[in-house]
A and B are shown apart, each in its own frame.
Chain A
Amino acid sequence: MASQPTRRQVPGGEAAAMTAITSTQGSGPAGRPSVMAARGLPATPGPAIQVAGLCKKFGHVAAVEDVSFSVSYGRITGFLGPNGAGKTTTLRMILGLIRPDAGTAAIDGNPYAKLASPARTVGALLDAAAHPGRTGRDHLRVLAAAAGLPRHRAAQLLDLAGLAPAARQRAGRYSLGMRQRLALAAALLGDPQILVLDEPANGLDPQGIRWLRDLLRTLAADGRAVLVSSHILAEVAQTADDIVVISRGRTVAEAPLGDLLAARPGATLEDIYLELTTTPEGAPS
């Protein structure tokens, strides 16, 4: 649990920063446009996200009591926990949307609010939100304008997300999976170094899940940090490099997936997760 994840070196380094990726890893859909520039690791070493002792109460209810973990560049960190464990509240505190009662959350060593250009640093998907009357393309154009990004980023990301045919449809007519893809496109608009994704597989069909998995792996292989919450443990076991588990507002495990599995020969991630998040009384927390 205490072992620090080792950072995977990304081949190419500085030179790769100039090259755009032209193919996905694995067996994903071919012909993905080269929207995301491949990047080397940032000049400043250290965790992409560092969370220390976060606490948050809503009224008298403690949503998060003591959550600490870090997220490394070049790795996918799976963020697990039962419903109500405080995952979304923690992610919102990392992103400066919710003010913690105690503790800190830092992006590259700074609070989110201090980031010089947030959209180019962090991309987040929290809920698949779009104004129902606005088209997918206009939704992304509004966000691109606010972030100071060129208009053509909207079209590029609609392509990446497989939404080009629905670009001129109002988001209110999108299926849940399409809205999820639109939200992912929005998260990737600024070509960010750090991704924070809350249940990104929600509503995606099997093709979409495969696409998402390949996308996340490509992003991590570029040297980006990916923090992704999920309930689909089989998916996490296939995708994540590191695992953070929280239960009832506290971190109960933080380790590389390989270490977790090696410590319990024969056990699956699901077995380990259920043990970690089941209360002594035997009921899930």
Chain B
Amino acid sequence: MIRLLRAEALRLATTRAYWLLPTGAIAVIVGSITGTAAATNVTPGISPARSVLAVAGLAQTVALLAGVLSVTGEFRHKTITPAVLITPRRTPLLVAKLITLAAAGLAFGLVATGIATAIAVPLLAARHIPAGLTGPGAAAIIAGGGIATALAAAIGVGVGAIIRNQAGAIVAVLALLYVAEPLLGFIPHLGTAIQRYGLGGLAAATTHTIGFPATAHLLSQPAAALVLAGYAAVALFAGAVLLSRRDITT
């Protein structure tokens, strides 16, 4: 497993997409956090800092996509063949990807949310808006950002092993996040469950920020992290079974 982790770390380090995606995401987060913190109006009852920091949720989307790319890229570029020839037992291969991507996701999530907090809190203070954020509260948001991003990467690895077609997997993930969940969230009764148990709601709850649609139905931070971890486990298990059973013909 040490060998596989070393190989996966090298794969990650030598593929530009894994540097461009998070770097771009951090640039977007810095820009939009600065803009939002400078211009946002105070909504009564909602912590302005939590509301502003929801923008950092982009980190989870990017990590989810990176996880998907880590598996589907192997099929798209046919490098899955040499990889499986060297490691005929395919589940350890997937586990190595999981560990590597989740670790990278954790680091990326901590950095992205940390930078966002470091920008948002002083900006709000400069505008004399009470941030509504204590020291431990900020720590919970940053830690939650790291955990949610790691779990998002893990889900991505699982989804990539299930849907091996790269374009198909990316479209499926983006459609779920940005079309299906927001739309279903408006349906009475069902909407509450979607807001609570959908990926968007779980990510917002895990990071302890307030996402869209702003909702009071979110789970607690630990509960949301557990449900997200459950999703990751299901996706990874299904992905491992399919990866082991399917023929590799490309």
Contacts and interface: CB of A to CB of B under 8 A. Distances in A.
A141 interface: yes
B16 A145 contact: no
Contacts, number: 82
B249 A143 contact: no
Contact of A146 (B4, B78, B81, B247): B4
Interface string A221-252: 00000000000000000000000000000000
Given A134-B15, A138-B14, A98 B7 contact: no
Contact of B86 (A113, A133, A134, A147): A147
Contacts of A96: 84, 88
A95 B85 contact: yes
A103 to B, nearest CB: 15
Contact of A141 (B10, B77, B248): B10
A131 B15 contact: yes
Contacts of B77: 129-132
Given A89-B249, A142-B7, A146-B87, 7 more contacts: A98-B247, A112-B88, A119-B85, A124-B81, A133-B15, A135-B14, A141-B14
Most A C-beta atoms less than 10 A away, residue of B7, B16, B73:
B7
Query: 9 smallest A-B Cβ distances: which pairs?
Result: A129-B78, A146-B7, A145-B7, A138-B14, A98-B247, A97-B248, A113-B88, A145-B6, A148-B3
Contact of A145 (B3, B89, B249, B250): B3
Contacts of B248: 92, 97-98
Interface string B102-127: 00000000000000000000000000
User: For B17, B83, B88, which residue has the most chain A Cβ atoms within 10 angstroms?
Assistant: B88
Nearest to B245: A99
A69 to B, nearest CB: 21
B14 A134 contact: yes
B79 interface: yes
Contacts of B44: none
A97 B245 CA distance: 10
A8 to B, nearest CB: 27
Contact of B10 (A113, A138, A148): A138
B125 to A, nearest CB: 43
Contacts of A148: 3
Contacts of A46: none
Size bracket, chain A contacts:
20 to 34
Contacts of B245: 99
Contact of A97 (B7, B16, B84): B84
Interface in B1-46: 3-4, 6-7, 10-11, 14-17
B135 interface: no
B122 to A, nearest CB: 38
A129 B75 CA distance: 10
Contacts of B73: 131
B interface, how many residues as a size bin?
20 to 34
Interface of B: 3-4, 6-7, 10-11, 14-17, 73, 77-79, 81-89, 245, 247-250
Contacts of B247: 92, 97-99
Among B11, B17, B79, B85, residue most surrounded by chain A Cβ atoms (within 10 Å): B85
A129 B87 CA distance: 17
A53 interface: no
Q: Which of A89, A134, A135 has the most CB of B within 10 A?
A: A134
B244 to A, nearest CB: 10
Given A130-B79, A133-B16, A138-B14, A147 B84 contact: no
A118 B87 CA distance: 7
B85 A122 contact: yes
Contacts of A215: none
A52 interface: no
Contacts of A127: 78, 81, 250
A129 B81 contact: yes
Contacts of B14: 134-135, 138, 141-142
Contacts of B16: 133
B15 A146 contact: no
Contacts of A142: 7, 10-11, 14
Contacts of B85: 95, 97, 118-119, 122, 124
